[in-house]
Amino acid sequence: MSSGAVSASQRVVVVGGANTDIVGTPGSPLVARDSNPAAICSSPGGVGRNMAENLVRLGVRTSLVTAFGADEAGTHLEAHCRELGMDTSGSLQAHGVPGSRYVAILDDQGDMALAMSDMRALELLTPAELDLRRELIQSADLLVTDANLAPESLAWLAENARCPILFDPVSTAKSVRVLPIIASIDVLKCNIIEAAKILGIEPEDAADAASTARRLCDLGAKTAVVTAGQAGAFWVQGSDEGHAPAFRVGVVNATGAGDAFSAGIAYSRLAAVGMGEAVRFASALAALTLMAEETVSRQVSLEAVDHIMKAGAS
């Protein structure tokens, strides 16, 4: 990146969901209301945790504030996060609540057909609990959060953060949680469907992603980035705007690509590069994730992302 790597002294604090992903990939087109033969794998996931893992793999000092369930899945998930190098000291142990789980069924093209999530543990990450972690949260150079948090917890973060906030809407159902705090958001990253929900319009009316990004900024976001699949990503920041085409790669698993994109934007904001370069870097990180079976590619590194960016430019 033209402005260099992120400083070792900089810290990202990610406040959001962490769960176990269970993903089924069929070998042929799905048949509704029937048992479909598939390859089923389990791996660590959750939007917040996925963003945190990508950042750690990029070499960023990262703290994860989440709620781990009290069962075996929750214990295993926290241990895995620590082994990767995340600081989980600010996370909550959610006693009496099972570990969060996300179940996704992909289609035969590797894209999501249906998903369900059980994030009850994260409901215990209340404003009172966040206040106990005030010192850690306010030590961040960048705060990254997601819409898995309850609205009142998001409001606490917006009111108490001392640094820029990057927000990932998670899903159409939860995306509107950004509305009460949108004026506090430095970067709002969403896809076309999430953007339409936030704006209260039909998805077909949000198909012009550049215009949609402008409208999100009109609502109060300082920067809006709207991803549009193979059409690439569109961004607006004040009077500046631009587009980065998607990198063409073979898709193995689309789960986690959006989280990787958000992590790429977060890294770039710390590195103080312009939004055009930031969105291109994020697109390359997402492409790397699309080629992996895991929700977060084990190949993630600055070198791997740079390779995709150079290959795309050739």
Domain that holds residue 215: 11-17+46-96+124-313
Q: Could you report the per-residue pLDDT of 58-70, keeping only the tens digit for each? A: 999 999 999 999 8
- At 102 the pLDDT is 87
- In a domain? residue 36: no
Alpha carbons 2 and 310: distance in angstroms, whole number? 13
Q: Could you report the per-residue pLDDT of 101-147, keeping only the tens digit for each? A: 989 999 988 888 999 988 889 999 999 999 999 999 999 999 999 99
- At 3 the pLDDT is 45
- In a domain? residue 165: yes
- In a domain? residue 38: no
| Higher-confidence position of 4 and 38 | 38
- Burial class from Cβ neighbours inside 10 Å (0-12, 13-18, 19+) for residue 53 reads buried
Number of structural domains (the chain) is: 1
Q: Could you report the per-residue pLDDT of 235-292, keeping only the tens digit for each? A: 999 999 999 999 988 888 777 899 999 999 999 999 999 999 999 999 999 999 999 8
Q: Could you report the per-residue pLDDT of 281-299, keeping only the tens digit for each? A: 999 999 999 998 888 999 9
Can you say how many angstroms the Cα of residue 66 is from the centroid of all Cα atoms in its chain?
Answer: 14
CATH label of the domain that carries residue 178: 3.40.1190.20
- In a domain? residue 41: no
pLDDT bracket for residue 313 (50, 70, 90): low
- In a domain? residue 27: no
- In a domain? residue 30: no
230 pLDDT above the threshold of 50? yes
Q: Which residues contact 79 (CB under 8 A, 6 or more apart)?
A: none
- In a domain? residue 58: yes
- In a domain? residue 106: no
